[in-house]
């Protein structure tokens, strides 16, 4: 049974990946590329965009072979919760600090799933907060306050 490309879940995912990769590549064209030894600000985004386009092509071709139809409708609530969690993280990062922003990100995005277990989200928040503090604040010396009172 053949389905339309626009009703094929893998073909749609492949098209989405290729489109996002092309958009990222187009935006990165405005930055200097550099070389492998002396990378410019456009090097990493272009390479990642090409990798994303490559994954998109592979998934699109897999979708053409498998013909798996899209079942059900859009999950508007999970989509809204995931978008809201990212916006909330960006809003809270400078106002409340890295740790509260991560906690808000994890709790709101976990609500988008089918199962929400408070204990698991607390453990995830604690582990990822320590990881982010070690890597980004102490390791890379990025200017993020862990909490608002660190200003």
Mean pLDDT, range 14-35, rounded to an integer: 92
Domain spans, the chain: 5-66, 76-150
53-105 pLDDT per residue, tens? 999 999 999 988 887 776 777 788 998 999 999 999 999 998 999 999 999 99
Instruction: Give the pLDDT score at 2.
Output: 62
CB 42 within 8 A of CB 28: yes
Banded pLDDT at 109 (limits 50, 70, 90) = very high
Q: Which of 48-62, 87-101, 111-125, 136-150 has the lowest mean pLDDT?
A: 136-150
pTM of the model: 0.65
Strand partners, 69: 8
Report whether 87 contacts 122 (CB < 8 A): no
Q: Is the pLDDT of residue 49 over 90?
A: yes
Name the residue among 148, 105, 145 with its Cα closest to residue 125.
Answer: 105
pLDDT band at residue 42 under the 50/70/90 scheme: confident
- Band (40; pLDDT cuts 50, 70, 90): confident
């Amino acid at each position: 049974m053949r389905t339309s490309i626009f009703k094929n879940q893998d073909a749609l995912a492949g098209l989405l990946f290729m489109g996002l990769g092309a958009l990222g590549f187009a935006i990165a064209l405005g930055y200097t590329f550099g070389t492998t030894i002396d990378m410019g600000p456009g090097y990493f985004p272009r390479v990642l965009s090409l990798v994303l386009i490559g994954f998109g092509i592979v998934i699109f071709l897999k979708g053409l072979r498998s013909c798996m139809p899209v079942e059900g409708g859009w999950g508007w609530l999970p989509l809204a919760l995931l978008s809201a969690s990212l916006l909330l993280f960006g809003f809270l990062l400078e106002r409340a600090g890295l740790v509260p922003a991560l906690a808000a990100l994890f709790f709101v995005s976990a609500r988008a799933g089918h199962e929400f277990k408070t204990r698991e989200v607390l453990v995830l928040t604690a582990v990822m907060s320590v990881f982010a503090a070690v890597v980004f604040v102490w390791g890379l010396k990025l200017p993020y306050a862990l909490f608002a009172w660190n200003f």
